[in-house]
Amino acid sequence: MIKPDRIVTTTCPYCGVGCNLQLHVKDDFIFKVTSPFDSPVNHGNLCVKGRFGYDYIYHPKRVTTPLIRKTKQEAGKRTQAFDLSEWREVSWDEALDYVADNLVRIYKRDGSDAMAVYCCAKATNEDNYLLQKMYRALFRTNNVDHCTRLCHAGSVVALQQAIGSSAMSNTASQVMMNDVFIVTGSNTSENHPIIALQMKEAVRQNGAKMIVVDPRRIELVDFAELWLPLKPGTNVPVFSAMAHVIVKENLVNWDFVNSRTEGFNEYLESLEKFTPEFAEEVSGVSAEDIRKAARLYAGAKNAAIYWGMGISQLSHGTASALALIHLAFLTGHIGRDGTGLNPLRGQNNVQGASDMGAMPFHYPGYMRVDNEENAAKWEKTWNIEPGGLSRKLGLTTTEILSHAHEGGVRALYIMGENPMMSEPNLNETRKHMEQLEFIVAQDIFINESGAFADVFLPATPFAEKEGTFSNTDRRVQRVRRAQKPRGQSRPDWQIICDLALRLESRLGRATAKWDYSNPEEILREMAGVNQDYAGITYDRIEKVGLIYPVPDMDHPGTPTLFKDSFPRGKGKFFPLEFVPVMEEADDEYPFILTTGRVLEHWHGGTMTRHSALDEVYPEARVEIHPADAEVHGIKDGMPVRVTSRRGEVVLRATVTEKTTVGVVFIPFHFAEAAANLLTNDALDPQAKIPEFKACAVQVFPARENELPHPEVMLERGRY
């Protein structure tokens, strides 16, 4: 048995659960991962990614030296370069000078609107705070965003409108206090496996009743009291019909509605049309099951709602989330332990990146950039002249690329994101990437987006850096270095600080502090203005972390929000309308495609597809119901071609009752059969989130030789 030199406790770099890890290190090599049983988050449990998905940090394709493209790229003629022979290794000084010279050249020529940056939900709070600060303080732009725009933006906007806060109201572990809970738009067993364990335990041990609302027969259906298999994109009629039942059967918590909400009468008028029979007609869910679900939820002592991107990733994602919020308002199932509205955040630090201001409309702490008082606070903190920060709302992730043209965005800085996998309608995304004049990639691998870059800055993964992540519970936890950075790679915060000093020199500005000695200094600077983090120090989160808001050094944290009031005062009801998905099935494209994750993989695959996990789940599959497969002559394992109005992919079929008739499912981790070549780039008008969860497709049998050849992946650096 190998005995470790040291065991380093840190936080998992995958989903938003934020499991605690113990990295067992021998000779500066991690050979095993365990978890402490006293962890309040995961109690010693880990999923396959947390336990085995760390080996990507040793993959031979990892880039550990700064690189500059050998051939200068021109806007409109930009190409991808996966092969390292197309790059030249350079020193950090040359790479950062090259970046600074080009960014400043474009900024001086075209101004703030030409500059844009993607922050990163996989990076630390400190990394994200610094990168948004650099772009706001030095380039005076709010064109700052990250992948929250592509996952829970609809939830964020809805919660901000109705409540004034966009985070989970309770913690995932409080599911053990529920006697009824709704899980919707979330394949929790594969997306948040440790939370799913707690959900199943709540059912088996505590007798809690679970209601699953999902178009697929996910594993949690086996534990559910009710399964409502709705058609993708029909959330608003189903949940509004539940509200209709609650009102008509007088199951309303009138004390809560009268004392803590507003807008009820206007909402009530809009609710009249959402009968269970109407919902059955458009969603396929039986009216009687809708009534049963409404009665269960409304009649519970403690009920909660947990949701994922099946709610938010729609052109009406904001309305979908509002329909859930209305249920909590009507019943008073919010503001108490064991209740609440709980969007399950997808990536390890998407909550923290949002908290840090990595969004176009908000500074850290969700302070609007177009508010004079907010801007003045950050101008003082960053030593910027009064009026120096932009009050103009920035472009979102999807808008940044659509504005990549002459007179629009010319330079894009990408930290750890992969828009060439995560954006919808990837053929259109490619055209936008090609139009950019200058691209910087700061990452650990050359992925599909980094291959377009002019310069590559090698960063460090979670095991080679210090900092903090904030999980879906709002728990701020430590990330600790277990081994020294490999090669010349550097932690993101150090790269940003070194670049910012160069930018200041070239711009003739001496503004914000950039000479930090450690990441905690960065966190404390941010917490000096963002009161939610004011009482968080590295000493205080040394063992188990703190759940914000933590307004002062003596505060114990806040697991349950809104006990007495909402941040906006009273919760607000909003009248809703049913808006169908932008692209419904028809004779030409008879199936609705929905997308998502599988247990073994993660996001665009940059990490897990460089891991041994890729051997466990090595290829993309499309799930199709047996009844549909029979009609279309498709057998299990057969190659098929899936086409939409935007693109096509060839992959193998899995014939399964996990999906429902008329609905097919493709995971979005596989570049060789990228689901987002097919998806619709129609946007929610409020949240600007794309409609990933529903588009019309056709499925045809294909030939074996039409499947992507392994050499395709070799070129893309996966193997």
Residues 588-599 have a mean pLDDT of 95
Query: DSSP for 657-702?
Result: TTS-TTEEEEES--GGG-GGGTSEEEE-TTT--EETT-EEEEEEE-
> Is 50 exceeded by the pLDDT of residue 714?
no
The position carrying tokens 């700052």 is 144
Task: Point out the least confidently predicted range of 294-303, 340-349, 639-648.
Answer: 340-349
Is the domain covering 67-151+351-547 a CATH 3.40.50.740 domain? yes
Q: What is the identity of the amino acid at 339?
A: T
What's this model's pTM, rounded to 2 decimal places?
Answer: 0.96
Q: What is the identity of the amino acid at 560?
A: T
Q: CA geometry: angle at 576 spanning 575 and 577, to 5°? A: 135
Q: With bands split at pLDDT 50, 70 and 90, how would you rate the model's confidence at 151?
A: confident
pLDDT digit string (tens) for 349-378?
A: 999 999 999 999 999 999 999 999 999 999
Sign of the C-alpha dihedral computed for residues 36, 37, 38 and 42 taken in this order: positive
Query: DSSP for 155-199?
Result: HHHHHHHHTS--S-SS-GGGGGG-SEEEEES--HHHHSHHHHHHH
pLDDT digit string (tens) for 219-265?
A: 999 999 999 999 999 999 999 999 999 999 999 999 999 999 999 99
The predicted pLDDT at position 711 comes to 52
Distance from C-alpha of 15 to C-alpha of 46, rounded to nearest angstrom = 11
> Is 80 exceeded by the pLDDT of residue 569?
yes
Distance from C-alpha of 483 to C-alpha of 379, rounded to nearest angstrom = 37
Domain 153-344 CATH class label? alpha beta
For residue 584, the tally of other CB atoms under 10 A from its CB is 14
The predicted pLDDT at position 718 comes to 42
Q: With bands split at pLDDT 50, 70 and 90, how would you rate the model's confidence at 710?
A: low
Distance from C-alpha of 224 to C-alpha of 61, rounded to nearest angstrom = 44
The predicted pLDDT at position 717 comes to 42
Q: Is 39 helix (H, G, I), strand (E, B) or coil?
A: coil
> Is 80 exceeded by the pLDDT of residue 713?
no
Q: Domain-by-domain residue ranges, the chain? A: 6-58, 67-151+351-547, 153-344, 591-715
DSSP conformation class of 305:
E
Is the domain covering 6-58 a CATH 3.20.20.150 domain? no
Q: What is the identity of the amino acid at 533?
A: Y
pLDDT digit string (tens) for 286-298?
A: 999 999 999 999 9
Is the domain covering 591-715 a CATH 2.40.40.20 domain? yes
> Is 60 exceeded by the pLDDT of residue 76?
yes
